[in-house]
Amino acid sequence: MTSKQGSIKGPRIDKDTRKRLLACLLCGLLAACLWWVPSIGVLLRHLEVKTRDVLTTMDTSVKPREDFVFLGIDAASLRGGGASDAEVANNVTLQRMNGQFPWDRRVYADAIDRLGNAGAKIIILDIVLAQNGSPEQDQALADAIARHRDKVVLASSFNPVSNSGGHDGMLVVEPAGIFLGPLEDETSFGFANFWPMDGDGVIRVAHFRRTLGEANSQEPHPDEYVYESVATVAARKMGATASDGHKRFKMGFADKQLAVNSYEPLSLITIFTEKEWEKNYERGEFFKDKVIIIGPASPMFHDDHITPGGKIYGAQLHLHVIAAILDDTWHEEVELTMIATIVLNLLGVFGVMVVVFCFEKTLSLSVSGLVFILLMIGGMLLAMIYLDRLFGGWVVGMTFLVGLLGAIIRQSMTELARRQQLHRHLQRSMSPDVADAIVKAPDGYYRAASGNRKQVTVLFADVRGFTNRSEQQDAGELVSQLNEYLGSMVEVIFCHGGTVDKFIGDAIMATWGGLDDSDLAKQNEAAVGAAQGMLAALVELNATWKKEGKEPFRIGVGVHHGEAIVGEVGSDQRTDFTVIGDAVNLASRIEGMTKAMGVDFLTTSSVIDVFSQQSEWLDVGAIRVKGREEGVNLFTEKLASEKGRTRFQQFLIEFQKGNFTEASELLTKIEGGGELAGLVGFYQSQIKHLSENPASTENWDGVLRMETK
């Protein structure tokens, strides 16, 4: 064979460069995959969000509006600061403010009159006046509002409540009717709530309209009343319209300071002291044509909110949003689709490989990383300043920087490559977690393989009626369908950290806790999550098979937690890492009971005891399997209506007491059975059997004895 080496032009890629490129590629792809690892992905997205927050604080294009004023109910107003005793004695409003909070509502009436008469454009009262006070006070405030109704905006609120069942919800708290006035000329009001969107308590977006259903995380009904926010109502009075939904508003920063320095509160009491009114407010001329909000400005009210620009009062937040609506200034967040994320990750990998190919020395690689960071920050700033787009850049940045780090520490990748080669070989014959244990910590695996008694969670899943199908269906088609089913189920089990112990024909046995000392509660939660995921995955498979003209599968899944022996079992020629013992046998029997009881999923009290919401489970009775004297309580996920479940639980109480006649009557009241039909049929047959065999009810303890496996 003729050598082709002589035909190659230019320098060859040497072994060291290949190692660096391989290290770079693997680390870059690893960084890309981290976005889809649940726990790490959350942290990376949190980093993305925080980066966008920093960018917004660097945007100085928006300045606080000069025509916005925040009159705060602050410490000075609450203790009557700034007014002399003589002035208080001659001023009824100051006397009313000098008492205990909440104030006499005539204080707000006087404030509205004073500001309205001074020519204020909008007066926002950021206090929810839902409860009626004294008739005299309420009437005085209502009259003041009526005199300036075209200028006044009141506040409502979506407030959390707990109903008798203990479930949290939301209701709307509106201003009292006396303040709203007649329907044909009702005082404007809007909700004062802000909702964090990213799970960290930071207010970044403004919601303009919301229904009560949306506030309760429900789909809005077409006939539901749509509530508007305080900012939306105030802006509309000034001729501006807010869009639907929500937007990320720009904040006006004063001289590159924090948001708390914008719209700083003026003490409300100062508008009632003659010195301040004449000197600082020019006898009211200061308030002419201005938007004025009166609201809490003291920590005692707990009306402060965390924003990207720092912690500010709710009234300040309203002013920032009103300004954004009036000036139409918003940040548009670039939300990446999965395809865009994948493409950007691949671009990051490609870019770092080009850099690694061009530069060899560690210093050069480090400098290139620094240059990349500076370019990334510059690109994000330009996108924000000129396009109003917020893009964190970490989708590309993570793959580039981690890939670069992989190239710098390329020597360690040699050993990693060797381990990966072994891992790929082992995965052909065992579960990924077993292969991981051998490759990453062989000593720990060998200790586990030598045999130990451990608390494990075992899952069995079996296809119903598979034997009959194997006699009727084409063998090749059935095997193909079975392999597709098993592949999907194994994927679900692996996603929940389980080990596929073995396949027994069409049955699957999976375990949790055999190889590690993980928390028992997490084992059970993972196993139940896997069972639920398998049933959900089967629904999708059946839908696909139906379109392909194939018969659907139906499975039963049983889960049990208990003590078992864990280790390698077999001969000198072949061994399997497996789990044996009572817990395994019982899990298998429980799976068999799903067919008898007509349900898809059964588990035991040893599993659901770890769940805080045990009301989500339906008690379906206790059984004593063949060969085992100790009974076990069985549970399935809630089925049917609340009425049906209640009747079934009443039946079960009578049945376990041995009152079979009453129990049978209760069964007949479960109309049609519905999702409980299988359980109804099972217990009807059991009652019939017990009635025909009185000897079987001697020493009855409420536990059914199953004579078959």
Reported as a single tens digit per residue, the pLDDT across 285-329 is 999 999 999 999 988 888 889 888 888 899 999 999 999 899 888
Q: So what's the pLDDT on residue 125?
A: 95
Q: In 221-337, where does DSSP find H-type helix? A: 230-237, 274-279, 314-327
Do residues 633 and 646 both lie within one domain? no
Residue 6 lies in a domain: no
Q: Are 208 and 244 in contact (CB under 8 A)?
A: yes
Q: What is the pLDDT of residues 101-137, one digit of tens each?
A: 888 899 999 999 999 999 999 999 999 998 888 899 9
Cα separation, 315 vs 122, whole angstroms: 14
Q: Are the C-beta atoms of residues 280 and 273 closer than 8 Å to each other?
A: no
Taking the C-alpha atoms of residue 158 and residue 162, their distance in angstroms, rounded to an integer, is 13
- What is the domain range of residue 228? 68-328
| 342 and 393 co-located in one domain | yes
Whether residue 601 contacts residue 637, with contact meaning beta carbons closer than 8 Å, is answered with: yes
Higher pLDDT, 231 or 333: 231
108 and 192 housed in the same domain:
yes
Question: Which of 204, 305, 226, 321 lies closest to 260, judged by CA?
Answer: 305
Question: Which pLDDT value is given to residue 449?
Answer: 64
- Across 395-407, average pLDDT: 71
Confidence label for 626 from pLDDT (cuts 50, 70 and 90)? confident
Q: What is the mean pLDDT of the chain?
A: 81
Say which residue, 512 or 259, is predicted with more confidence. 512
* Domain boundary, last residue among 620, 637, 654: 637
16, part of any domain = no
| pLDDT greater than 90 at residue 613 | no
Tell me, yes or no, whether 550 and 626 share the same domain: yes
Q: Is 182 exposed, middle or buried (0-12, 13-18, 19+ CB in 10 A)?
A: exposed
Residue 435 maps to a domain: no
Considering the domain architecture, whether residues 88 and 105 belong to the same structural domain is answered as yes
Q: Which amino acid does the sequence have at 569?
A: V
Please count the structural domains in the chain. Answer: 4
User: Do residue 293 and residue 362 come from a single domain?
Assistant: no
Question: Would you say 568 and 607 are in contact if contact means Cβ atoms under 8 Å apart?
Answer: no
Beta strands in 415-554 (DSSP E): 452-463, 499-504, 507-512
Residue 111 lies in a domain: yes
The predicted-structure confidence for 193-211, as pLDDT tens digits, reads as follows 998 887 788 888 889 998 8
**Residue 94 pLDDT > 60, yes or no?**
yes
Domain identity same for 585 and 532:
yes
Examine the pLDDT at 470 and tell me if it is beyond 60.
Answer: yes
d(CA 567, CA 576): 8
DSSP code of 463? E
Do both 45 and 75 map to the same domain? no
Following CA atoms 318, 323, 326, 332 in sequence, which dihedral angle do they give, to the nearest 10 degrees? -90
> Residue 265's Cα: distance from chain center in Å?
36
Of the residues 286, 305, 328, the one at which a domain ends: 328
Element (DSSP H or E) covering residue 389: strand 389-390
Are both 572 and 663 inside the same structural domain? no
Q: Using the predicted structure, report yes or no on whether residue 331 has a pLDDT greater than 90.
A: no
Residues 585 and 660 in one domain: no
* Angle, CA of 421, 426 and 429, to the nearest 5°: 150
Predicted TM-score (pTM) of the model is: 0.53
Cα separation, 184 vs 701, in Å, equals: 71
Instruction: Judge whether 627 lies within some domain.
Output: yes
Tokens of 289: 């044509």
Strand duo 330-333 + 310-313: pairing: unpaired
Query: For residue 410, is pLDDT > 70?
Result: no
Burial class (CB in 10 A: 0-12, 13-18, 19+), 375: exposed
Q: What share of the chain is helix, strand, coil (3-state, %, to 5)?
A: 50, 20, 30
Is the pLDDT reported for residue 246 higher than 90?
no
One-character DSSP codes across 650-709: HHHHHHHHT-HHHHHHHHHTSTT-GGGHHHHHHHHHHHHHHHH-GGGGTT--SEEEP---
Residue 307: strand pairing partners: 310
111 Cβ partners below 8 Å, 6+ apart? 71, 268, 271, 272, 294
Q: How far apart are CA 141 and CA 134, in angstroms?
A: 11
pLDDT-derived band of residue 17, with 50, 70 and 90 as boundaries? low
Phi, psi of 73 (to 5 degrees): -85, 85
- Cα Rg for the chain, rounded, in angstroms? 35
Write down the number of H helices and E strands in the chain: 26, 24
Cis check for the bond before 196: say yes or no (omega within 30 of 0): no
Mean pLDDT of 148-169: 81
Q: How confident is the model at residue 382 (pLDDT cuts 50, 70, 90)?
A: confident
Q: Looking at residue 615, what DSSP letter applies? A: G
CATH code assigned at 603: 3.30.70.1230
CA pair distance 281, 114, nearest whole angstrom: 12
Give the start-end residues of each E strand in 285-379.
291-296, 304-307, 310-313, 330-333
Half-sphere exposure of 444 (CA within 13 A, CB side): 13
> For residue 351, which of 390, 302, 316, 403 has the smallest C-alpha distance?
403
Across the strands, what pairs with 288?
A: none
Verify that 597 and 631 share a domain, yes or no.
yes
Count CB-CB contacts under 10 A for residue 55: 22
pLDDT band at 11 (very low <50, low <70, confident <90, very high): very low
Report which secondary-structure segment, H or E, holds 144. helix 135-147
Q: Where does a domain end: 328, 351, 374?
A: 328
Does residue 659 fall inside a structural domain?
Answer: yes
Q: What is the dihedral of CA 412, 417, 420, 422, to 10 degrees?
A: -110
Tokens of 186: 């009702």
Alpha carbons within 13 A on the beta-carbon side of 235? 21
Q: Report the SS3 class of residue 458.
A: strand
- Give the DSSP letter of residue 202: B
Is pLDDT of 689 > 60?
yes
Residues 618, 602 contacting (CB under 8 angstroms): no
Cα–chain center distance at 377: 29
Residue 625's pLDDT band (boundaries 50, 70, 90)? confident
User: Per-residue confidence at 425, pLDDT binned at 50, 70, 90?
Assistant: very low
- Distance from C-alpha of 331 to C-alpha of 54, rounded to nearest angstrom: 13
Is 356 found in the same domain as 217? Answer: no
For the ranges 16-30, 84-98, 136-150, 420-434, the one whose mean pLDDT is highest: 136-150
Separation in Å, CA 326 to CA 13, 248, 703: 61, 14, 71
Whole-angstrom Cα distance, residue 484 to residue 552? 12
Within 10 angstroms of residue 641's Cβ, the number of other Cβ atoms is: 14
Residue 148 has pLDDT above 90, yes or no: yes
